Structures are given as C-alpha cells and as structure tokens.
Amino acid sequence: MSISRRTLVAAAAMSLSLSFAAGAARAQEFVNILTGGTSGAYYPIGVALSNIYTKAIPGAKVSVQPTKASVENLNLLNTGKGELALTLGDTLSNAWKGDEEAGFPHKLDKLRTIAAAYKNYIQIVASASSGIKTLADLKGKRISVGAPKSGTEINARAILGAAGLKYSDFSKVEYLGFGESVDLMKNRQIDVTLQSAGLGVSSIRDLATSVDIVFVPVPADVVKKVGDAAYIATDIPAGTYKGIDQPIPAAAVGNFFVTTTKVSNDLAYKMTKAMVEGLDQLYAAHSAAKGIIKAEMPLNSPVPLHPGAEKYYKEAGLLK
C-alpha cells in the first residue's frame, strides 16, 4: 500500500511541531526565589521580585518559597532547589568559607552574587514590664533568638557574645521565627526578642502596637568586638516604630541577592536587569527595600558576582 504525499507532509509537520514543543519545554527557565518567614522583609520583597520577573522574563516559571531564611536558603541553592535567594552577608561569608558551626559543613563555592540589597538591623526588643534597658540587663531573662542556625540566630550569637553573654546566661532561650516570637511576647512567655531584619519589619510593628516595648541599644564598642567587618555600627532612626522618639544605637549587616553557577549567564543577566529596572516595585513592597542603593548593587559581596550580573552592570555603567 502506498502512502500519499499529503500524508507524508502532514507527518513531517507533526514531527517538526513536536520537536519544537519539546525544545520549548526543555528551554523553559525556572526561577524559584528563596525568601524567609512571611512576617519578615525577605518574603514580600521576594513576592514583588516574582511579579517583576514574570513580566520581564517571558516564558519563565517563577515561584516564591518561604523558608527559615539565610542558612537554609544558601543550602537549598547549593542543592539546586532555587535560582535566587536573599541572605545576610555574614552568613554568605560563612557559606563561602565552609563554617560548620554556622550550618555549612562544606564550602559552597558555587555561590555567586546578583546584587547587594539593603542592610539588616539587629533589633533587640524587650517588653517594658521586663525592666530591660541595656544588654547587661538581659542576663537571667527569657529570649527568642530566631530559628536555629538562621541568619538571625547567627547574628544573635555574635552580638550577645560580643556583649559577654552566653545562651546559658538566660533563664530561657527560644529558637523561633519573628511571628512566633512576637506571639510569645504578647502572651508574656518571653521578655525579649532579637530580630535581624530590615527597618519597619511587620512583626515588630505589630508588637509595638500591641504591648509597651523598649529597644535595647547595641553600643558601637560592642559591634566592634564582634570582630567581623560584615557588622557595622549604626542607628535605628527615630520614628521607625511606635514609641521610638530618638535614634537607637544598633548593629547592621548587609543583605545580598545570591544565585549559583548552575544558573546560566543569560538568565542571571535577565534577573539582574529586571531587578535594577524594577527597583521602584521593590521599594513599594517593603520599607526595608528602600535601603537598596542602585550604585551599590554590584559592590561589597564576599563572593564573586555572577558573570551574567557583571555583564549587565558593566553595560549599565554601574561597574567598570
């Protein structure tokens, strides 16, 4: 039985169509953005970034994943379970070096930076009824220091250690995220919460409107004793939260948007370009994001820039 020319042409067309479809499926780009708890700053910034990427990178499948933040994010990136993550600078440095105590038994040398972000302020908030006014007053109190081996908890160890305090000096230590810590504060089950986050974080705003609180100052000499260049002495500005009528001395650590060498140069370029061009949308997503300074985005990371990001910054005149 002979096969008509029309049938052969139709079969060839179908084969070509299936081939194109398979190629398109293989070429689809995935961008999973690793953030933090939903009550912190990372999550709303990640959601805003996902909206930017969905419009700016046609065909990309973009998703946002809440996590325990910095340490978990970098370990997930390393195992290929994300394309972009937010992280604290000191945590990033620990991952790059391979600091087992910080949650990195091996060096994560495939990490690459997309951009420097805003600064995290290490905010130590106590209930007014606790009588806490200084770091020394924390001894014997009940504290929440963040999820175990999270960026916040690493910051807690650093700052409390520089102030001469060990976890054994507290009557109770809880390892909880921002929202859970605030709930315990409201219910008078803990006296103080340490939260490393951008200014105006929703968890502390919520707490400030629910109970009388005080912010515990972190003096510049304590910040210096940490012995890590990632930590800088700064102030929480007056008016940041209800009840703050004067600047509060504090420590801050820079945040970074990070990817890996597994992400192609083309995708990293697209992600960087869309992020820079969509900064206004990030600023609108959370007050902390207003600390992202365009001219500083390619600078000061403890790990190298991704080549795709570097290419964009050079084209945009932000990097020589």
pLDDT tens-digit series, residues 116-160: 999 999 999 999 999 999 999 999 999 999 988 888 999 999 999
Q: Specify the DSSP class assigned to residue 6.
A: H
Let me know if residue 320 belongs to a domain: no
- Is residue 316 a contact partner of residue 308, using CB atoms and an 8 Å limit? no
Same domain, 132 and 189: yes
With CA atoms as reference, report the closest residue to 256 among 70, 57, 95, 56. Answer: 70
Same domain, 246 and 283: no
pLDDT > 70 in the chain, percent: 92
User: What is the maximum span of the chain, computed from C-alpha positions, in angstroms?
Assistant: 96
Q: What is the pLDDT of residues 193-216, one digit of tens each?
A: 999 988 889 999 999 999 999 999
Let me know if residue 16 belongs to a domain: no
With CA atoms as reference, report the closest residue to 313 among 277, 281, 285. Answer: 277
Residue 111 backbone dihedrals phi, psi, to 5 degrees: -70, 145
243: left (phi over 0), alpha (psi -120 to 50) or beta: left
Give the per-residue pLDDT at 147.
Answer: 87
The whole-angstrom separation of Cα 39 and Cα 30 is: 25
Let me know if residue 169 belongs to a domain: yes
Retrieve residue 99's tokens.
Answer: 């600091």
The whole-angstrom separation of Cα 150 and Cα 147 is: 5
CATH code: domain of residue 197: 3.40.190.10
Q: What is the pLDDT of residues 210-255, one digit of tens each?
A: 999 999 999 999 999 998 888 999 999 999 999 899 999 999 999 9
Same domain, 83 and 227: no
Residue 199 backbone dihedrals phi, psi, to 5 degrees: -65, 140
Same domain, 137 and 110: no
Helices 151-162 and 89-97: crossing angle in degrees, nearest 10, is 100
pTM recorded for the entire structure: 0.80
What size, in residues, is the chain?
A: 320
Of 238, 253, 268, which residue sits at a domain end?
253
Same domain, 73 and 99: yes
The whole-angstrom separation of Cα 84 and Cα 142 is: 35
Mind giving me the DSSP string for 19-42? HHHHHHHHH--EEEEE---TTSSH
For 136, the domain range is: 120-253
Same domain, 141 and 212: yes
